[in-house]
Amino acid sequence: MKNLRKQSKKILITLFLLIFSASIFSACSNSAESNKNVAIKDISEKISSVTDVAQMKKGDTEKLKKLYKIDAKDAEEFILYTATSNIKADEIAVIKVKDSNQVEDVKKKMGKRIEKQSASFKDYLPKEYDLIEKHVLKNKDNYVILIISKDVEKIEKAIDESVK
C-alpha cells in the first residue's frame, strides 16, 4: 500500500513537471515567433508616435520599385515614407521580405539608393546630405530597415522595440 502511494506521488510529480516544462517552452516559443511576425501597421504606428510622418508621402508598390528596384512580390508587406519634395532627403522604409535569403539583396538595393541620394545632395544641400550620412540601414530577422531622418535615433528605437 505504501509502495503504491510512493509510486503514485512520483508519477504525479513527474507529470506535473512535464506539463509545467511544456507550458514554459510553449510560452517562450510563442513570444519569439510573434516578434518575428509583427505587422507593418504596428511598426508604422510606432514610427508615427516618435516622428511627424504627416510631413511625408506614403509610398506604394510603384514607389518601392522606382526607388529601390524591389518588386512588391518579394515583400510580404512594407511601409515607405518619402519626402514631399526633391529638396528633402527624409526617407523611412521597413520591408518585411518573404524569404530570409532575400535580406542581403534588399539591403544592397537600398544601399544603392543611399549612394545615389548621397551623390545628389552632397554639394547641393549640405544639411540634407548630413542626414543621409547618418542613415540607418540594417535588418532584424526578415525586416530590412532604412531610416534617413533628423529623428533617426527615435525612429530606430521605436522600430527595435516593435521587432524585438
Mean per-residue pLDDT for 69-86?
Answer: 94
Local structure of residue 99 (DSSP, 8 states)? S
Residues 14 and 64 in one domain: no
Residues 22 and 97 in one domain: no
In which domain, by residue range, is 6 found? 1-36
The rounded Cα 124 to chain-centroid distance in angstroms is: 31
- Look at the chain and report how many structural domains it folds into: 2
Residues 130 and 56 in one domain: yes
Residues 117 and 44 in one domain: yes
Mean per-residue pLDDT for 66-94?
Answer: 95
Mean per-residue pLDDT for 131-158?
Answer: 96
In the predicted structure, residue 70 carries a pLDDT above the cut 80: yes
Residues 62 and 81 in one domain: yes
Residues 74 and 114 in one domain: yes
The rounded distance, in Å, linking the Cα atoms of 121 and 55 is: 20
Cβ neighbours of residue 74 closer than 8 Å, sequence gap 6 or more: 97, 98, 99, 102, 106
Enumerate helices (H) and strands (E) in the chain, giving the number of each: 6, 5
Residues 20 and 100 in one domain: no
More confident residue, 14 or 67: 67
CA neighbor of 40 nearest in space, from 4, 103, 111, 92: 92
Residues 5 and 79 in one domain: no
Residues 53 and 32 in one domain: no
Number of neighbouring beta carbons within 10 Å of residue 119: 12
- Supply the mean pLDDT for the chain: 86
Confidence (pTM): 0.77
3-class secondary structure, 95: strand
CA neighbor of 106 nearest in space, from 135, 134, 78: 78
Amino acid 163: pLDDT: 87
Residues 58 and 118 in one domain: yes
Local structure of residue 59 (DSSP, 8 states)? P
Local structure of residue 84 (DSSP, 8 states)? S
Please say whether the beta carbons of 124 and 17 come within 8 A: no
Residues 82 and 27 in one domain: no
Dihedral sign, Cα of residue 26, residue 27, residue 29, residue 33: positive
Residues 86 and 14 in one domain: no
